[in-house]
Structure formats: C-alpha cells, structure tokens
Amino acid sequence: MSEQTLEKNKETRGFQSEVKQLLHLMIHSLYSNKEIFLRELISNASDAADKLRFRALSAPELYENDGELAVRLSFDEKAGTVTISDNGIGMTRDEVIEHLGTIAKSGTKDFFAKLSEEQTKDSQLIGQFGVGFYSSFIVADAVTVNTRAAGAAVDQAVCWHSTGEGDYTVENIEKATRGTEIILHLREDEKEFLSEYRLRDIISKYSDHIGIPVLMETAERDEEGQETGKKWEQVNKAQALWTRSKSEISDEEYQEFYKHVSHDYAEPLSWSHNRVEGQQDYTSLLYIPSKAPFDLYNRDSKHGLKLYVQRVFIMDDAEQFMPMYLRFMRGLIDSNDLPLNVSREILQDNKVTQALRKACTKRALSMLEKLAKKEDDYLRFWTEFGQVLKEGAAEDFANREKIAGLLRFSTTHNDTAEQTVSLADYVSRMKEGQDKIYYITADSFNAAKNSPHLEQFRRKGLEVVLMHDRIDEWLMGYLPEFDGKQFQSITKAGLDLSSFEGEEEKEAQKQTEEAFSSVVERTKAYLGERVQDVRTTFKLQDTPAVVVTDENEMGTQMAKLLAAAGHEAPEVKYIFELNPNHPVVNRMADEADEEAFGRWVEMLLGQAMLAERGSMEDPSQFLSAVNKLLAQ
C-alpha cells in the first residue's frame, strides 16, 4: 500500500495498481450494459448469506437472533443514492482492505500489461477477476460500504469510502446489525436508476434465481394514489434455480444463473441440469463457458464447482468433482449424501466424492460430444479450451478413447491452421490398405505444412495430421491409437509406405540404392559420430536431404519441449537421409575431391537440420561450406 495517514482509527490508503487500472477501465471503457452493476452487487450479497449459513452450522450464535437472510434494496431520489444491504457474513477491517483494495489473483499485472485498447472494451474482463463490486463505479462517482462481520462487536464495524480515484478511506464505526450495506452515490447522468420500476425490472431480469429473498422498499399508496408510507416487498422468486423442475426454467434463467455462479459476462455455450436418485442422490448443473479465463493455463489457479450439501452452500471451487483437464467447466453440485461439516480434506478420499467425480466427468464429456455436433459452436469451444482438453489423454486413461474423439486437428486435407478435423473424420478418409494414422509435430502450422517429410504423402494422396500446438508432442506419448488404428510419426526412420508402391517402383528403388551405396559410405565416413546413420531415401521429391530419428529415439519436438521447460534433454542423434534423385545430391556424388565433397555434405546436413529443428549446433561450419561452394 502507498502512503497512509492515521487520524484516530481513520486511514487513507492507496489502491493496488491493478485496481487503479481496473477502475479506469470500468469508468471509461467497460459495460455498455450499465445495469449489470446491480446483478453483481446482489450476487455478492447472496454469496455473503451462503457463507454465513455455512459458518452458522457449527456456530449458530453468528445468526445473532436474525436467521431470516435477505438482500434489501432502496433508493433516495433527493440524495441521489441507491443502497443494497444484506445480513450475511459481513467483513472485518482487514477483510475490507484485502477485498476492496487489492486483487489477489496471480498474474493480473501481466494480464493488464497485455491489454490493448480494443480489448479494454471486452466486458467479460470483470468476471475473470470475480471483482463485480468495482462495477459500482460505472454508475456512481462515490461509493460507501458499511459492514460488520458476524459475531463482531457493534463498535467493530467498518466504513469504506472511495470516489474511484487513487485511494480510499477506511475507519471503524458502530453498526447495530451484521452484514454489509453499500451506498452508491449516482453520477448525474445515471439517475435513471432512481426508479422503482427500473430497479424492479433489473432484479427480475438478472436476480430471480437468487436463493434468498431480494426485498425492495416500495411506496404504499391510498386509494387516490397518494404515498402513505413505505413497505418491504419481495421482488424475486427466491428459490434456488437448480431445485426447480427443468420444464419450469427458461434458457434466459439458465444463462443468468451461469453468470451468477461463474462471475462471467459472456453467455455459456451449453449447460446440463441433472437430477439423480438411487445409489447417489444429487443434483448437478454444469456449464460449458464460451470464453476462457485469463489464467486457464495456470494449473494452480482456483477452479471447480460450487458445492452444496442439502441445498446449504459449503464451498466455492471444489476441484474434487472435476479432473484437471476439465477445469474450464463451471456450475454446481448439490449432494444429499455428503455430511454438512465436510471439508476439502475429507472430500479428497471420500467414496461419495469419487462416485460424484466419475459421474460429473461422464456428464461433461457427454455435453462436449453433444456440442461437437454443432460445428460452429464446437469450433468456438475448441479455439478457447482445446489445448486444455488435450491434457485429458494423459490424465484420464478410462476416458481416453472418448477424449480422443473430441480432439480436433489441422490436416493436409483441409490445409488450414484452423483445427476442425476429428480423428473419426481422418479414419473415414483412410486409403485402402492404410492401417496407420500419419502425423507430424512442428513449432507452427506453416512449419508442419511445408515440411519436406510430407512430399511422399502428398504424392501418394495420403492424409497427414498436422500438429502444431506445444502440447501435441507430449500428447502423442499417451495416445498410441484411435479406433484400433495406431499413430505413426512421419519423421521416424521406421516409416514404411511400400504397400502403396508397385513392384516396378520397388525394383527401381532397389537398383538405385545399390548404385548409391558408395556415396552413402563416403558421407558416413565424413560425418562419423555426428549422426547415428546415413541412408538413402525415396520419400523426397523437391528436397535433397532430411534428418529423422529412430523409432525409439526422442523426437525433435519433445527435446525442444523439455529444454523450454528448463529440463536437460538427452542429445538427439539423427539419421541423415539422402535423396538420390535430386540434382544437388547427384552433384555431390560426382565430386571426386574429398574436401569439396565434405562441403556438399555440410551444406545438405545444415539445410536438413534447419528444416527439422529451426537451428543448428555450429552455423559457422555450415556458412563456411556454403560460401566456398558459392565462390566455386
């Protein structure tokens, strides 16, 4: 925190730099749909009630003789304020500073640094941080928060106040009731929210599903329409959405509930509401988001489902019910079989948990299979979450075949970087006599698409899967086959396509290989231990030479992956393959001078290494050979 000035118990604190940036975005760029602020604040109030209900299971005195949990909403036209209050868990002074002055999520600084001007208009940003409170500053030029933690003394309440600039004040006050009261001092051009009709409309649109009553202070009128007083009127259904029958719930309600549980602004791609009775007794409501959170690839970030036991909220981010590779799934599970005092530690080894995890995983994969039938929607999903789903092939052996069916790739059939081809599509197009799924891994789509290893496959009309995500080489270590067809890397030395060649072609190749054997031996003698072997190849057409690895040798991409992760990768020994039908190789073969012959070998090996690795161990040796050949 920056400068602090103390006056009795009042202090002024500077916002964390990320909060300053967020507030700037809020006020100047985000939320074209300004009414969202009310949804966010009511959602937070509902969460506070859930937390109190859970804590009160073991400490009922926290209710302080007030067990009727509710959210209250009122407005004052003269003062220009809207007030949202709850009688939930409340906050201590330290919690106020922690929750309202900082953003605790790791990586936020880097995330803000990468934001472009265009991206600042992306209103899903707010949900990614779970900081909907700051949306108050879209409509308010000042915000006051009065709060007292449940169980704290009346004089231990706290008042937080800010105008959304660089700092805020916090001081101790007296507050008779527990919970939190937020007073929004509306901007001059936001007075539309000082209307009973407008506020009522927003609540029924966004907060009907909240599980506790949302009460609004409304005017009582006599027969002539004159105001005679005020009364509190419930304006939402106040029944937990997942406890209602599916036939009663509209798509709009499901979508709004998703935004409540996920703090996401974008619509979900799909959802599944499921009630199970029998061996297990539970309800699940699962969602597939349409946008990835900024910390999706941080495996340590919080994820998981909201857990309820017998409709009592227990915890957020219960990761025990979803495997890591499905960490993008959102929603909740409400179990009647778990104890109310369940903890994360008990969940870890609980048989009920294991059964629920298995059921939720199966349900999530079924949702994805159903979504995959809608190509456009599935492409949106795959673009956002595809690389995370690939982790499942290694982590979930029981569902590996099902996960493999959900994977999408580029291939030489579609020849675009867009990953739209399923393995089932590939298998359906396999040529007669083809028993393997051919693939190549590379640093980028263009590197894969233009690899010289593809030449013979294009010539023979064989489709090749072009893998260009960083995770792909690792993935293929855990995915040996699909639909009974083995995968075959086309950069391995053991590749055999003789079944697609005629007898005359085979005989011609055999004769060429025998005639070329002396050139192979000369090359082998020159290179010595620098390569594992030198061989003749007939798979090339426009390329004079390539390097490949032995079937059991670590591949180039895996070695790069280990090096990038800071691990010491074993040296990859390549097999150097020469194309005897290429004019450059023939020029080399005709060279009688051994020194000049060595320059040709250096040039061809250097080219092959560049094509395979994108680099070489000794570029100077390669450049020297090329320069001397050019001078010749």
> Does residue 9 have a known ligand-binding role?
no
Q: Is residue 63 domain-shared with residue 88, that is, in the same domain?
A: yes
Confidence of residue 41 (pLDDT cuts 50, 70, 90): very high
What is the tens place of the pLDDT at every residue in 46-84? Answer: 989 999 998 998 899 999 999 999 999 999 999 999 999
Q: Which of 371, 398, 420 is the last residue of a domain?
A: 371
Mean pLDDT estimate for the chain = 86
> Does residue 105 have a known ligand-binding role?
yes
Q: Which of 478, 498, 518 is the last residue of a domain?
A: 498
Kindly tell me the burial class for residue 397, based on how many C-beta atoms sit within 10 Å of its own C-beta (0-12, 13-18, 19 or more): exposed
> Does residue 461 have a known ligand-binding role?
no
Q: How many residues in total does the chain contain?
A: 632
Q: Is residue 528 domain-shared with residue 419, that is, in the same domain?
A: no
Highest average pLDDT, of 229-238, 392-401, 497-506, comes from 392-401
Q: Is residue 526 domain-shared with residue 605, that is, in the same domain?
A: yes
What is the tens place of the pLDDT at every residue in 283-324? Answer: 999 999 999 887 777 777 778 899 988 888 888 888 899 999
Lowest-confidence segment of 27-41, 459-473, 501-515 by average pLDDT = 27-41
> Does residue 129 have a known ligand-binding role?
yes
Give the whole-angstrom CA distance, residue 526 versus residue 544. 18
Of residues 405 and 238, the one with the higher pLDDT is 405
* Cβ-based neighbours of 508, under 8 Å, separated by 6 or more: none
Asked whether residue 93 carries a pLDDT value surpassing 70, the answer given is yes
> Does residue 327 have a known ligand-binding role?
no
> Does residue 91 have a known ligand-binding role?
yes
Domain count, the chain: 4
> Does residue 279 have a known ligand-binding role?
no
Q: Which of 207, 238, 269 is the last residue of a domain?
A: 238
> Does residue 581 have a known ligand-binding role?
no
| Cα distance from N-terminal residue to C-terminal residue, the chain | 69
Q: Is residue 510 domain-shared with residue 453, that is, in the same domain?
A: no
Which stretches of 222-298 are assigned E, i.e. beta strand? Answer: 227-234, 270-276, 282-288
Asked whether residue 126 carries a pLDDT value surpassing 50, the answer given is no
Say what the pLDDT of residue 119 is. Answer: 46
> Does residue 107 have a known ligand-binding role?
yes
Mean pLDDT of 511-538: 92
Say what the pLDDT of residue 226 is. Answer: 82
Residue 290: CATH number of its domain: 3.30.230.80
> Does residue 44 have a known ligand-binding role?
yes
Q: Is residue 212 domain-shared with residue 319, that is, in the same domain?
A: no
Q: Is residue 230 domain-shared with residue 246, that is, in the same domain?
A: no
> Does residue 377 have a known ligand-binding role?
no
- Smallest CA-to-CA distance from 535 within 551, 523, 553 is with 523
> Does residue 344 have a known ligand-binding role?
yes
Residue 425: CATH number of its domain: 3.40.50.11260
> Does residue 40 have a known ligand-binding role?
yes
pTM, rounded to two decimals: 0.75
Q: Is residue 291 domain-shared with residue 392, that is, in the same domain?
A: no
Say what the pLDDT of residue 1 is. Answer: 41
Backbone angles phi, psi at 236, to 5 degrees: -130, 170
Give the whole-angstrom CA distance, residue 548 versus residue 532. 10
Domain that residue 323 falls in: 242-371
